[in-house]
Structure 1
């Protein structure tokens, strides 16, 4: 069986540091920060903060709600991509810890992850080159 992977050429651009205010949504706020900085595409490079509650998508499409207050984000990774209609869409995945120290992971559901006190995030702009290069199929051995 063959697998095809997309490799996108480009270069890194500017770096922006942003603070998200209490009760603002994590995913939507990262999109807004990119819009404010003029980033059409970006990577999340670092983050620090907590959520009131966390809502993460599970493999079966259901949502896992982790109740707070103060659900800590242990790690956060993701990217923001320009859509064909000109809007931006953030895809953020992370690991959170509840008030008892249990950890959970997965993609954050947009509109369902309110910031607790404040949240700091570092974004790095991605400037894709014209067109994309598709790598040859990988052989399974």
Structure 2
């Protein structure tokens, strides 16, 4: 009887082990899930391509409100240095005086894109939907 129990216990020891098949199935399912979700993900962003100053023509209309953003991020609205938060108020004031005028945002090549997007948002919140982007003088 002891001999039989010893054989049974040795057989049980050999049979115990970690079965990796369920873990592999789980890992493969995760891999498939991530591949499928990566295919359906949409990238969110704004693509802004600013034209070069050399390719632009000198065509400035006198009936437009000009906003200049320089390389340092300074904002000049109608020849007055303005803070980023007060662009909307300045545009509302100028648009009330000249309602037919469009807004031209002149940016230098090194101007921060975040400030450009913020200024365009402020202009549109100020009531002007006709906003153009023009290249400024390059500092090179």
* Same topology, TM > 0.5: no
TM-score (norm 1): 0.22
TM-score by length of 2: 0.22
Structure with higher strand content: 1
